[in-house]
Amino acid sequence: MTALRTTTDWPRLVTEAAATTTALLERAAGADWTVRPQDSEWTARDTLDHLALGVLGYAGLLVARPTDRYITLFGSLDPAAPVPHRLEGLRIAAALLASTVRDAPADVRAWHPWGHSDGPGFAAMGVVELLVHTHDLAGTFGLRWSPPDALAAPAVARLFPDAPQGHAPGTTLLWCTGRVALPGHPRRPAGAWSWDGRVRPEPPAGH
């Protein structure tokens, strides 16, 4: 395996993404979380479960390092817990992912259906999951919000190397994940997009 150096503080980005998104969603804690975000098969509460499963699962993949399968550990949130406590669970999952990424040697690789990846790759996946699903939930609850550019930019550069250039990173991330259109780039159909988790040299600063 080739070990690639990274200059991005991925553990910090993961925990910052979790703190930013859960702080926003706290504002909707009293809303009806049985509603479904637009174009989603999940309820809002199900979306939080999906996030917990994914973010914790990325940490588990880095620990187990399978080459051809997902891990057998499945994380979940207490279905009876109030929303603020469930959001706390997301911050815990993000902290565990951040710690695992911080401790993982640079040459660690693990399976993912969208490209075997390394610590920074799985961190970027966690950031993307948190940002795009929070965007879905924000729209559901009437909260005006877009992924912060400072969080979206490194995730787009790491997982979407062919993303269109010249647009705000937060909006570009939403286009990459089929949420919005960009000038000259129609909205991607739901389920017709994926990221590229394969390990590549990190783009230069400002990419």
Q: Are 34 and 45 in contact (CB under 8 A)?
A: yes
What is the predicted pLDDT for the residue at 124?
98
Cβ-based neighbour number of residue 128 at 10 Å: 24
Q: Where are the domains of the chain?
A: 10-30+37-145
Whose CA is closest to 121, among 76, 68, 61?
61
* Residue 76 identity: S
Tens digit of pLDDT per residue, the chain (207 long)?
Answer: 445 556 789 999 999 999 999 999 999 999 999 999 988 889 999 999 999 999 999 999 999 999 999 999 888 999 999 999 999 999 999 999 999 999 999 999 999 999 999 999 999 999 999 999 999 999 999 999 999 999 999 999 999 999 999 999 999 999 999 999 999 999 998 788 999 999 987 655 554
Choose which CATH entry (1.20.120.450, 1.10.375.10, 3.40.50.2300, 3.40.50.1240) describes domain 10-30+37-145. 1.20.120.450
What backbone phi and psi angles, to 5 degrees, belong to 182?
A: -120, 155
Distance between CA atoms of residues 44 and 135, nearest Å: 12
* Residue 90 identity: L
What is the predicted pLDDT for the residue at 1?
46
* Global confidence as pTM: 0.93
What is the predicted pLDDT for the residue at 207?
47
What is the predicted pLDDT for the residue at 205?
52
